[in-house]
């Protein structure tokens, strides 16, 4: 247990003894923490991207980024110090922040990251072969979803968002991203994960939206960074429609988003409620 002033309080069958981080901090320098961050980030980058950037060139860059992060990006409370980042869970959180911010830029600076296209049906951008069994409740009154049924999750947010997509005149087609094969890789606490957004939407102007509706953000911001990188990579492809990612906290925000994206806001009637 760590108290607010950075003291450790051990528990056990004997008399409690108060410990603190003062002596430990004396033996740790910020440069050491930055070195550890850069070393682990280098290994993770090579695991994900191969040797696109040789380790002997990658590590010094990451070391500089790590030093800058520890100097300018931390919000210290109480008697916290930058060296405390060497302790978990702070170390893994900072590592995630650094790794999610990295973008591979080729020497001629003309391309940048490219999308990884999945093999099979998912990579063909088609739902023609989608077929699966589910024990969850489904509803089949959808009109603009090109699947015959939509899985109705327990989240009222998602159900409301699905209804909004089905009735909005700016939506050409939409699908709940369930068994569609669309996932976005990201890292949390140093481990690889796959993020599956809520909806994929095609607007009447051929724009493509990836929509996530969250009442509570939790770790959604980490996923947002990964999704925005994914969108940038997809938009670099030839003949690709324009994609964008949107993290929303209320279904009403979805309606306003589509209004703005399709220029429908100015043509829609305004509904007012009389005071009673």
pLDDT cut 70: percent of the chain above it: 70
Helix, strand, coil shares, percent, the chain, to 5: 40, 15, 45
**206: alpha, beta or left? (left if phi > 0; alpha if psi -120 to 50):** left
What is the average pLDDT score of the chain?
76
H helix intervals, 168-247: 220-235
Short-list 246, 166, 174, 167, CA closest to 210: 246
Confidence category of residue 172, pLDDT binned at 50, 70, 90? very high
How far apart are the C-alpha atoms of 20 and 234, rounded to whole Å?
49
Which pLDDT band, with edges at 50, 70 and 90, does 240 fall under? confident
Handedness of CA 111, 52, 193, 69 (dihedral sign): negative
Give yes or no for residue 234 having a pLDDT over 80: yes
Q: Is the pLDDT of residue 109 over 60?
A: no
- The pLDDT of residue 157 is 72
Q: What are phi and psi of 124, to 5 degrees?
A: -90, 0
Q: Does residue 105 have a pLDDT over 70?
A: no
pLDDT above 60 for 22: yes
Res 102: pLDDT = 75
pLDDT for 244 equals: 92
User: Mean pLDDT across the stretch 265-275?
Assistant: 46
Poorest-confidence range of 106-110, 203-207, 248-252? Answer: 106-110
Q: Could you report the per-residue pLDDT of 63-93, keeping only the tens digit for each?
A: 888 888 888 888 888 888 888 888 888 888 8
- The count of other CB atoms within 10 Å of the CB of residue 198 is 20
Q: What pLDDT is recorded for position 210?
A: 92
User: What pLDDT band is residue 268 in, cutting at 50, 70 and 90?
Assistant: very low
d(CA 164, CA 75): 39
pLDDT greater at residue 224 or residue 14? 224
Least Cα distance to 205 among 160, 244, 149 occurs for: 244
Give the Å distances, CA to CA, from 40 to 7, 70, 222.
27, 15, 19
Contact between residue 91 and residue 99 where contact means Cβ atoms under 8 Å apart: no
Question: 């940048």: which residue's tokens?
Answer: 112
């Amino acid at each position: 247990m760590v108290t607010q002033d950075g003291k450790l309080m051990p528990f056990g069958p004997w008399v409690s003894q108060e410990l603190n981080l003062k002596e430990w901090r004396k033996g740790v320098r910020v440069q050491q923490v930055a070195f550890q961050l850069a070393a682990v980030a280098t290994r993770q980058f090579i695991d994900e991207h191969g040797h696109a950037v040789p380790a002997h060139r990658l590590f010094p860059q990451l070391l500089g980024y790590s030093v800058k992060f520890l100097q300018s990006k931390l919000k210290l409370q109480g008697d916290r110090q930058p060296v405390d980042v060497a302790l978990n869970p702070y170390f893994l959180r900072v590592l995630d922040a650094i790794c999610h911010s990295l973008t591979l830029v080729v020497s001629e600076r003309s391309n940048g990251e490219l999308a990884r296209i999945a093999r099979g049906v998912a990579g063909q951008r088609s739902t023609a072969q989608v077929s699966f069994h589910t024990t969850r409740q489904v509803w089949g009154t959808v009109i603009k979803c090109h699947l015959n049924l939509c899985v109705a999750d327990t989240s009222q947010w998602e159900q409301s968002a699905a209804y909004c997509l089905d009735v909005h005149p700016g939506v050409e087609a939409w699908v709940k991203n369930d068994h569609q094969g669309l996932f976005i890789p990201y890292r949390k606490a140093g481990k690889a994960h796959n993020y599956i957004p809520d909806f994929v939407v095609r607007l009447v102007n051929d724009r493509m939206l990836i929509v996530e509706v969250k009442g509570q953000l939790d770790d959604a911001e980490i996923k947002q960074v990964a999704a925005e990188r994914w969108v940038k990579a997809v938009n670099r492809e030839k003949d690709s429609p324009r994609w964008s990612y949107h993290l929303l906290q209320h279904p009403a925000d979805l309606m306003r988003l589509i209004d703005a994206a399709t220029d429908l806001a100015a043509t829609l009637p305004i509904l007012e409620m009389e005071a009673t």
